[in-house]
Amino acid sequence: MKLIRACVYVIIGFAVLFVIIHDVTTDRTYRETHANLVNNVEEFFEDMPFAPYIRQGHYEYLRLTGRSHFNGVTFLTDGRFFFDTLEPHFFLYERADGIVALEDYLSRRGIPFLYVRLPNKIEDNSVLPTAFSDNQSIEYGYRLAGLISDAGINTLDLRTEMMNEGMDFATAYFRTDHHWTAETALWASKTMITHLNNTHGFGINTDVWNIDNFGKITFENAFNGEEAEAVHAYHVFEDITAIYPLYQTALELSTWYGRVISHGDFVDTFVPRLRHEHIEYFRFADMIVPIYPFVSITNSLADNNKRVLIISDSNGLLQTPLLSLGFANTDFIYLINEVTPNWLWYVLDLYDYDFVIMAVSDVVIAHESVDYFFQDRLFLGHPPY
């Protein structure tokens, strides 16, 4: 360890000396020299050809020494990874008040609203290591959904639905990532719309989300998730499956000001990487809508003229393409700290929606940790009236 530290100091010393000599001879200012020095040192250590192997070695060291938690990730006893903020700041009542205010605003305009609780990847705390078994992420998800339901808001708890159907939480989510799989997102889409049909009598055709109407392609050992990256497990891979409808589709994905990002059938619009040959790696980002505060999807072959709004976290990035198969227009607002309030009320003022769904994962509820509520990811701002 001392030898490695000494080598690092020597390398940094040479980097500093080189940058200083170069900048002095080119008459750069102190600020320019400092910025150049920082960028060069950081770039060197981030982009070294052997850097991934060093990180992977650190991960192996963590596992060899029995570490149960590192960099916001807990190592579950069944071998999976789990994002886990040990000292989060919870704003349960503030969050509930904001969502109730949103529903009140929509109610005055006659727009139905559904709040959906998305579970995290653990069914219970039995898979947590002993030192970290006192975890309240599930409990806080229940409490927020309960506060919202108690306020008279239409609420759907997908954790309860999964448990009632006997779904396996370990396979419904990725092992190395906190997101749900495409198959789970499809199941959730049909479950949400079925619930809305039952509570509001919409009569929406849910056959478009039947799993039998979808093809799938599985890439073996091709996915390395965010939780794996956080613990430097850069060579820990798992299978990942992309799904696509077998029926005809014609979709257009656009962002603000009507700028078209992609169009065509479902694959062309959302999963164009499936058209490539010899795919060695496949990411979560390869099958989601682009990460913008707002995107809109037009479905020219929809059997209705409904316009819906989905407000969600990163699980919604994967679910929104699937939900768009059932409606003429599907808009999506991505929950972003201190950005969402400006977009939310502007979009709601611009369009008359047939209904609005807000779907929030227990990961967001438990993983957010800020000092002030206006910085919280679930701070929605205030209705215009």
- Please spell the DSSP secondary structure of 261-276, one letter per residue: EEEESHHHHH-GGGGS
193 within some domain: yes
DSSP 205: -
Report which residue type is found at 205: N
How far is Cα 334 from Cα 37, in angstroms, rounded to an integer? 36
pLDDT of residue 24: 53
Same domain for 150 and 3: no
- Segment 90-100 shows an average pLDDT of 94
Same domain for 327 and 192: yes
- Judged by DSSP in three states, 380 sits in coil
74 within some domain: no
Same domain for 271 and 174: yes
Which is nearest to 240 in space by CA: 289, 176, 314? 176
232 within some domain: no
Report pLDDT digits (tens) over 139-188: 999 999 999 999 999 999 999 999 999 999 999 999 999 999 999 999 99
234 within some domain: no
Angle, CA of 38, 44 and 47, to the nearest 5°: 125
Same domain for 94 and 30: no
- 227 vs 43, residue with greater confidence: 227
- Alpha-helix residue ranges (DSSP H) falling in 109-181: 137-150, 158-164, 169-172
Same domain for 191 and 122: yes
Same domain for 169 and 29: no
Angle, CA of 309, 311 and 314, to the nearest 5°: 130
Q: Report CA-CA distances (Å) from 307 to 20, 43, 328, 382.
A: 59, 46, 6, 23
Same domain for 349 and 276: yes
Same domain for 124 and 265: yes
Report pLDDT digits (tens) over 243-287: 999 999 999 999 988 899 999 999 999 999 999 988 999 999 999
Give rounded-to-5 percent helix, strand, coil for the chain: 50, 20, 35
137 within some domain: yes
369 backbone dihedrals φ, ψ, rounded to 5°: -150, 95
70 within some domain: no
Using only the alpha carbons of the chain, give its radius of gyration.
Answer: 23
- What's the total number of domains in the chain? 2
Same domain for 150 and 12: no
Residue with tokens 């060069």: 40
Same domain for 15 and 155: no
How far is Cα 97 from Cα 99, in angstroms, rounded to an integer? 6
pLDDT of residue 222: 96
Same domain for 163 and 284: yes
Report which residue type is found at 374: F
Give this prediction's pTM: 0.86
Same domain for 151 and 16: no
pLDDT of residue 22: 56
Range of the structural domain that residue 2 is part of: 1-48
